[in-house]
């Protein structure tokens, strides 16, 4: 069946039945005799995420020729790993709000958040082991290494005014795109695809995953608190250099770069400091530069999908790709 045009609402209508199965499984696999684990797990897992990563996995598998029940299991694995990283991120970043509600570390404490994040990683590993596919285990083991490296890289590089774009994109790949690439490649593995198609689906997920984070970088500057579920310009408050600011620092004169470096080196930044950095980004075109880069990554991903046969699932993946650069939250 040929590709049919989708908008993003159409994509999620198309996936409605599959995502309901994923939602039920997310809750079911949180069961534990330790009562606090499912409470904390539900707090973060069911707090309104868009299920972008499960959608990529479900559609990738179908587009490559598999629509069976293993898709649900692997979608849960992917979402648990993503959720675990959110729990850990909020502790490391001292986050207080996640998706418009108090973050788990605020409600339950840092120790509980870290340990429940560890539980989710462990449960994901258990589900993969029960499934028994060594290729899938290899994909997610590799991805867990990337996620861990990304956390450390961000910790050491995110406030460094001298960070290069190549270094920043490495952080973006490790922290965000690696898991989306894993979801996409796993879909191909479930379909029994050969190494060449697996590699292409990995590259698709990597490209759209980088674009996804670059759009998050933009939205931190342009979104409202209601849209973002947190205060805008939070990256600046935390002293993080994302691509809009990185580009502005590269284009700014020496005096502005020195001022920016001094502000980023402080333990805390005032609203006046934040305003200075935001104006720097605006003056030097950091937002359009980042938007252009995100669109280029999305277009790269869409070109990769041309190797797949025409299908509704491929059409939905194309629409999901376009959604990345049009979203407001």
Local confidence band at 4 (pLDDT 50, 70, 90 cut-offs): low
- Between 296 and 157, the more confident residue is 296
Which pTM was predicted? Answer: 0.95
Sheet strands (E) in 66-200: 97-98, 101-102
Bridge partners of residue 98, in order along the sequence: 101
Residue 329's pLDDT is 67
**C-alpha neighbours within 13 Å on the C-beta side of residue 77:** 29
**pLDDT grade, residue 264 (50/70/90)?**
very high
* Mean pLDDT for the chain overall: 94
Q: What is the mean pLDDT of residues 105-114?
A: 93
What local confidence, expressed as pLDDT, does residue 240 receive?
93
Across the range 257-274, mean pLDDT stands at 94
The span from the CA of 23 to the CA of 253, in Å, is 51
Domains in the chain with CATH codes: 8-321 (1.10.600.10)
Whether 1 shows a pLDDT value over 70: the answer reads: no
Statement: residue 100 has pLDDT above 80: no
Model confidence over 36-87: pLDDT tens digits? 999 999 999 888 778 999 999 999 999 999 999 999 999 999 999 999 999 9
């Amino acid at each position: 069946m040929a590709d049919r045009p989708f908008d993003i609402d159409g994509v999620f209508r198309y996936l409605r039945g599959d995502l309901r199965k994923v939602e039920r499984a997310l809750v079911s696999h949180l069961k534990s005799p330790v009562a606090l684990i499912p409470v904390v797990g539900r707090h973060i897992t069911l707090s309104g995420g868009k299920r972008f990563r499960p959608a990529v996995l479900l559609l990738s598998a179908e587009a490559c020729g598999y629509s069976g029940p293993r898709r649900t299991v692997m979608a849960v694995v992917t979402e648990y790993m993503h959720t675990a990283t959110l729990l850990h991120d909020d502790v490391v970043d001292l986050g207080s709000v996640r998706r418009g509600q108090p973050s788990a570390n605020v409600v339950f404490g840092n120790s509980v958040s870290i340990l429940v994040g560890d539980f989710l990683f462990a449960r994901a590993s258990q589900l993969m082991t029960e499934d028994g596919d060594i290729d899938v285990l290899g994909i997610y083991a590799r991805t867990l290494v990337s996620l861990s490296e990304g956390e450390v890289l961000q910790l050491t590089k995110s406030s460094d005014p001298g960070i290069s774009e190549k270094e920043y994109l490495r952080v973006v790949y490790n922290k965000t795109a690696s898991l989306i690439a894993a979801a996409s490649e796993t879909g191909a593995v479930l379909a029994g695809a050969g190494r060449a198609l697996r590699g292409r689906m990995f590259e698709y997920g990597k490209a759209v995953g980088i674009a996804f984070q670059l759009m998050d970088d933009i939205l931190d500057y342009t979104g409202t608190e209601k849209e973002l579920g947190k205060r805008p310009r939070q990256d600046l408050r935390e002293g993080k250099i994302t691509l809009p600011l990185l580009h502005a620092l590269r284009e700014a004169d020496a005096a502005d770069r020195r001022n920016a470096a001094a502000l980023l080196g402080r333990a805390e930044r005032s609203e006046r400091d934040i305003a200075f950095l935001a104006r720097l980004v605006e003056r030097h075109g950091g937002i359009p530069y980042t938007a252009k880069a995100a669109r280029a990554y999305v277009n790269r991903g869409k070109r990769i999908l041309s190797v797949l046969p025409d299908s509704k699932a491929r059409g939905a993946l194309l629409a999901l790709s376009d959604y990345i650069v049009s979203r407001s939250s």
